[in-house]
Structure 1
């Protein structure tokens, strides 16, 4: 039984979702060469508008955040106008959509943003990744520059401006991408944050920049329209560290005070367990964070429904099955068989 997935859910007094199924952010690399959303993207999202909430693919807050080809931005007038076509179409179909705001940090590559006048990859610390970019194997990662205090202040301002741009583009709100080994997440893990100033070493210091971004965006567009994705379990592009537990203990307690629209787990498979978290990422977060929580990570509708019934989280985000099934919500509601996802589906927007 999955009946609880089809109950309306109030995020707050501003936003009520028509059901508890979210479309998870899914990077598709299908924007045009100016990183402007296309008509095909508008049609792609509109076909999925029956989700309680669509969280867009990750959207760049500024040029030097780009680490993958053709990922859309929200920092030029043309990009804002392009997203407005998407959001208008989703709203006309009865849906709601948040923009996921993104800077990849040390995962970025100058190949994508040299024309903007910048050639420097930035991160909390000068600790690079080994190897090459997953979609462009001819490009190797660069050792990043550790951002200065003034550059951190500018990043906070740029996140807030991107959030304002998102509202201008018609989004119902934003999800800050603070997960999956990208810039904000890099501040929260000892493997990638080796600073000795007010942004490193202690839990309070390491959470300082992420919380500054949350607070700046909340002040700009409202906490009721602000969500955050976090990855307390280091599982992509960084090594886990037992000291990370204290960082997230502090961060989650602070987030509990901020009354965000939701907190969203960033994990590929929530069956993964982390010794220093005492189990799965979602169970750890739920043990500290009592407000609206979004679970994700290889859940079927039935598994997610059971987890919601057991109060493990409140909303279920579905990823790859939404690529394979634009009508995912209807199929689950009617008990119809799902089309199985395959990587070949990534070559086009259907």
Structure 2
């Protein structure tokens, strides 16, 4: 149906790592690069909110199976009819946990140095691009983020190195959460799209906290080739039409209705016409 409407759709591939809970895994602990728990107020589980657990550190010989899981997921995405995939290496999930020294205290070839902490992401990208052509694969990074208790002192060096390595692939895009509205570690200046432009020559996507005006400014000045919108879509299912026609956005949805298990906060937000009861002649194409 997305293709019938002229759209394109990528599937995001991700492993939650230590942000998960044994309640999702028949009592088995979540896994991570190291046995370091998230410091936070807890995780939502099938039986209610629970404290974060100390994860089990993955053994070196288990990592090829993790990489193979990504390859299989990429195959299934292709079989399902997606147009490409995005490797989620952000927001304190498994691949981001391996990238960052705060959560990666390993002493094998997947930890210790900036190069070693990148190794798992590189192997995953290699696996995924064995299924999809490189120009159908994107990667997402969160250099400034504190979500899921992230943020490492050498973040600039780490993410600059990651971007340089990814530049060699000719990816569909590099998706950088450059905004700080999703949580900022405050360990130094926020990395900007301009910082990534210096080391990544491909398509660059910005994200977090953009308005229509700031997004257009980033596109015009060359900071970004694409801008992603997330939260505004929750309460504005017709966000594209609102931007196109200069219509005002709906009030921001309260976080209490995000990810509900029914219509509320999911499919019950009106379009601009329904919201304002505009006549049919005002409907955008």
TM-score by length of 1: 0.69
SS of the equivalent of 1:236 reads: coil
Give RMSD over aligned pairs. 2.1
Q: Is the 8 A contact 2:143 2:191 kept in 1?
A: no
Q: Is the 8 A contact 2:145 2:182 kept in 1?
A: no
> Match of 1:135?
44
> Match of 2:57?
146
Deviating more after overlay: 128-137 vs 227-236: 128-137
Change in Cα spacing, 1:340 to 1:286, as seen in structure 2 (3 Å) is farther
Deviation per residue, 1:194-250 (Å, 9 max, x gap): 111101111110000011101110112221111110112242123533223222222
Give the Cα separation in 2 of the matches to 1:240 and 1:138: 24
Match of 2:140 among 229, 232, 242: 229
TM-score by length of 2: 0.84
SS of the equivalent of 1:135 reads: strand
Q: Select the structure of larger CA radius of gyration.
A: 2
Give the Cα separation in 2 of the matches to 1:282 and 1:181: 20
Match of 1:317 among 212, 215, 228: 228
Give the Cα separation in 2 of the matches to 1:122 and 1:307: 38
Change in Cα spacing, 1:267 to 1:249, as seen in structure 2 (3 Å) is closer
> Match of 2:9?
97
The alpha carbon displacement at 1:278 in A equals: 4.2
Tell me if 1:124 matches 2:21: no
> Match of 1:280?
191
Change in Cα spacing, 1:194 to 1:108, as seen in structure 2 (3 Å) is same
Give the Cα separation in 2 of the matches to 1:178 and 1:231: 8
Change in Cα spacing, 1:155 to 1:273, as seen in structure 2 (3 Å) is closer
Change in Cα spacing, 1:196 to 1:239, as seen in structure 2 (3 Å) is same
SS of the equivalent of 2:130 reads: helix
Give the Cα separation in 2 of the matches to 1:274 and 1:289: 23
Q: Is the 8 A contact 2:204 2:224 kept in 1?
A: yes
Q: Is the 8 A contact 1:125 1:192 kept in 2?
A: yes
Q: How does 1:1-12 map to 2 (within 5 A)?
A: none
Q: Is the 8 A contact 2:32 2:55 kept in 1?
A: yes
Match of 2:76 among 165, 180, 185: 165
Give the Cα separation in 1 of the matches to 2:193 and 2:16: 23
Give the Cα separation in 1 of the matches to 2:29 and 2:173: 33
Tell me if 1:207 matches 2:118: yes
Deviation per residue, 1:133-181 (Å, 9 max, x gap): 3435531211111111221110000001001101111111111110011
Tell me if 1:291 matches 2:205: no
Give the Cα separation in 1 of the matches to 2:150 and 2:15: 20
> Match of 1:247?
158
Q: Which has the higher contact order (CA 8 A, sep 6+)?
A: 1
The alpha carbon displacement at 1:283 in A equals: 3.4
> Match of 2:276?
none
Give the Cα separation in 1 of the matches to 2:56 and 2:44: 23
Q: Is the 8 A contact 2:147 2:182 kept in 1?
A: no
> Match of 2:273?
none
Change in Cα spacing, 1:273 to 1:107, as seen in structure 2 (3 Å) is closer
Match of 1:155 among 66, 74, 84: 66
* Gaps in structure 2 of 5+ consecutive residues: 268-285
Tell me if 1:334 matches 2:245: yes
Give the Cα separation in 2 of the matches to 1:121 and 1:275: 28
